[in-house]
């Protein structure tokens, strides 16, 4: 029998092979035998693998969702991190339809949709659960395409790739995504977190209903009580499963063994240390200085205004973390969270220096273009994922990438009540927005202390403190009407066209059903 590789497997391999140069080598390719015999399980594994390219690491969806906000800046340090200005363009809101991160995010989100469609082709005889998982992952990628670009290309399973993909826009696309998730929810498993599961589906539906008004009018969204009540109902369903509890340590949710100890995690992407993973090491390698352990590329930083949103005792701002197979840290120096001030050798305890011999002491101050003698120390360095010392060298790290956590569910429920939904209790977290937020803040894993009052502005700040660098910041700032506001480095209000990204010119050239978004 003639053996051929499926289009999904080939596309996944090509997409990953063309991603950022520092990403690890693609692993886990399907064999011709697996695909030619219609092995739906192997094809479905390929869909999960295709998720790594757009979502894992510090480029693509992460870059579009974080570098464009008040959470992250990618300063050019003399010739380092210039990259033809792509990072500056994101932070300053000056990108266009040729931007490389915009192009790659659009293409690789489409790759997930393509791979999922391959599983759903009738000749592969996928089981009911396999079809449900593939349809959920397709809906997840479509949701992010909608959120970022407002246009979602699609084909039906088995439809010829020679035909131009059709396009759904705005609330039409949202309604389709909602209908798909509702259609498969009961056929999804209860877990684990690294598979498409019922609570991941409920969490995605919460995002859909919470943002429906945004996708109808991004410049001036309104929030219907019926949508907010859907958010609250779905949150209560997740809470009432009893499957999720606050982790012993906040950073356990992101640690190399977070499959086991990340008790808040609802939906993740499985990485297998030493075997197969996405580019999660970017999240510490990008920010670490060359002389730190693990060594890095001395790049992005946090803005001081965002750092100042945290209280001094808030563990989420940083703590001493015990690394699996990591250095002893004899001085018990802060080694995760926002790194500021003098840095130390975590094996000997000795203070580190930069490459000129000056103290390696990270400063609050940072500019979009750094010049002079301070290139290596400017900027607070945010390290949310504790490094995997065991597998860092190989690049196949064990930190599962986190999409949804229990605190996000609680914060969305609080927001839905503030926006007109009916308050109801579930679990031990309370029924009022203030009680829900304080259940997170006062837990020993945060130690942030209770708030005395809560409004939408304070809630946006709390979402930032809890969910920083988890790819929700841009979406949150758009929904709260803050995304276009001036910032520390961008001193003027941005053009409203930047509420969505342009359709990449390469995509417009090959699909006449796509139209350029207004203003680009």
Tokens of 346: 């975590």
Q: Quote the pLDDT of residue 330.
A: 97
d(CA 23, CA 285): 11
Q: What is the model's pLDDT at position 2?
A: 31
Q: Quick one: pLDDT at residue 374?
A: 82
Euclidean distance between the first and final Cα of the chain, in Å? Answer: 50
**Predicted local distance difference test score (pLDDT) of residue 38:** 54
**pTM for this model (two decimals):** 0.93
Q: Flag residues of the chain having pLDDT under 50.
A: 1-37
What DSSP element (H or E) covers 189? Answer: none
SS3 state at 81: coil
What DSSP line would sit under 324-372, residue for residue? TT----TT----EEEE-EE-B-TTT-PBPB-TTSSB-EEBS---SEE-T
Instruction: Please classify residue 341 by burial: count the beta carbons closer than 10 Å to its beta carbon, then call 0-12 exposed, 13-18 middle and 19+ buried.
Output: middle
Segment 205-222, tens digit of pLDDT:
999 999 999 999 999 999
The full 3-state SS of 46-66, as one line of letters, equals: HHHHHCHHHHCCCCCHHHHHH
Q: How far apart are CA 222 and CA 211, in angstroms?
A: 9
In whole angstroms, give the CA distance from residue 485 to residue 475. Answer: 14
CA distances from 319 to 53, 138, 300, 338, 466 (A): 30, 37, 20, 9, 15
Burial of 312 (0-12, 13-18, 19+ CB in 10 A): exposed
pLDDT in tens, 440-473: 999 999 999 999 999 999 999 999 999 999 999 9
In the numeric block, which tokens belong to residue 327? Answer: 């250095």
pLDDT of residue 79: 86
Residue-level pLDDT at 339: 98
Q: Supply 252's token pair.
A: 């356990």
pLDDT at residue number 428: 97
Using the structure block, give the residue that is written with the tokens 């696309």: 173
Radius of gyration in angstroms for the set of CA atoms belonging to the chain, rounded to a whole number: 22
Place of tokens 């002079």: 372
Of 429, 430, 485, the residue nearest 457 (C-alpha): 485
DSSP H stretches of helix in 241-281: 258-261
Beta-ladder partners of 268: 402
Q: By the 8 A CB rule, do 13 and 115 touch?
A: no
């Amino acid at each position: 029998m003639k053996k051929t590789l499926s289009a999904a497997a080939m596309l996944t391999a090509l997409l990953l092979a063309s991603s950022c140069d520092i990403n690890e080598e693609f692993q886990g390719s399907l064999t011709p035998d697996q695909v030619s015999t219609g092995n739906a399980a192997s094809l479905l594994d390929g869909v999960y693998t295709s998720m790594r390219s757009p979502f894992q690491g510090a480029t693509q969806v992460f870059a579009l969702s974080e570098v464009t906000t008040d959470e992250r800046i990618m300063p050019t340090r003399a010739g380092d991190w210039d990259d033809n200005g792509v990072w500056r363009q994101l932070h300053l809101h000056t990108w266009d339809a040729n931007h490389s991160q915009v192009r790659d995010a659009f293409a690789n989100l489409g790759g997930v949709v393509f791979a999922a469609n391959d599983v759903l082709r009738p000749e592969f005889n996928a089981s009911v659960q396999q079809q449900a998982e593939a349809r959920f992952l397709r809906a997840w990628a479509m949701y992010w395409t909608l959120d970022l670009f407002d246009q979602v290309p699609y084909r039906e399973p088995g439809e010829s790739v020679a035909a131009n993909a059709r396009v759904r826009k705005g609330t039409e696309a949202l309604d389709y995504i909602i209908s798909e998730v509702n259609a498969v929810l009961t056929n999804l498993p209860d877990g684990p977190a690294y598979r498409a599961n019922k609570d991941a589906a409920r969490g995605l539906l919460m995002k859909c209903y919470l943002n429906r008004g945004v996708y109808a009018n991004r410049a001036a969204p309104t929030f219907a009580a019926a949508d907010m009540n859907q958010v609250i109902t779905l949150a209560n369903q997740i809470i009432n499963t009893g499957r999720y509890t606050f982790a012993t340590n906040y950073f356990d949710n992101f640690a190399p063994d977070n499959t086991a100890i990340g008790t808040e995690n609802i939906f993740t992407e499985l990485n297998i240390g030493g075997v197969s993973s996405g580019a999660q090491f970017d999240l510490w390698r990008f920010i670490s200085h060359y002389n730190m352990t693990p060594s890095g590329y001395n790049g992005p930083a946090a803005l001081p205004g965002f750092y100042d949103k945290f209280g001094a005792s808030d563990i989420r701002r940083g703590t001493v973390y015990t690394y699996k197979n990591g250095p002893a840290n004899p001085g018990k120096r802060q080694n995760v969270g926002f790194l500021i001030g003098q840095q130390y050798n975590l094996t000997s305890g000795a203070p580190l220096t930069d490459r000129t011999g000056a103290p390696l002491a990270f400063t609050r101050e940072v500019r979009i273009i750094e010049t002079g003698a301070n290139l290596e120390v400017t900027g607070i360095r945010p390290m949310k994922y504790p490094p995997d010392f065991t597998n860092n060298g190989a690049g196949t790290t064990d930190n599962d990438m986190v999409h949804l956590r229990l605190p996000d569910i609680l914060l969305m429920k609080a927001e839905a009540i503030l926006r007109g939904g009916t308050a109801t209790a579930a679990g031990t977290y309370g029924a009022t927005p203030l009680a829900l937020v304080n259940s997170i803040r006062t837990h020993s894993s945060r130690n942030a202390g209770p708030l005395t009052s809560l409004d939408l502005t304070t809630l946006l700040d709390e979402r930032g403190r809890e969910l920083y660098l988890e790819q929700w910041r841009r979406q949150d700032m758009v929904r709260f009407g803050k995304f276009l506001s001036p910032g520390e480095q961008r001193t003027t209000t941005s053009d409203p066209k930047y509420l969505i990204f342009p359709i990449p010119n390469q995509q417009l050239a090959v699909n006449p059903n796509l139209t350029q978004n207004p203003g680009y």
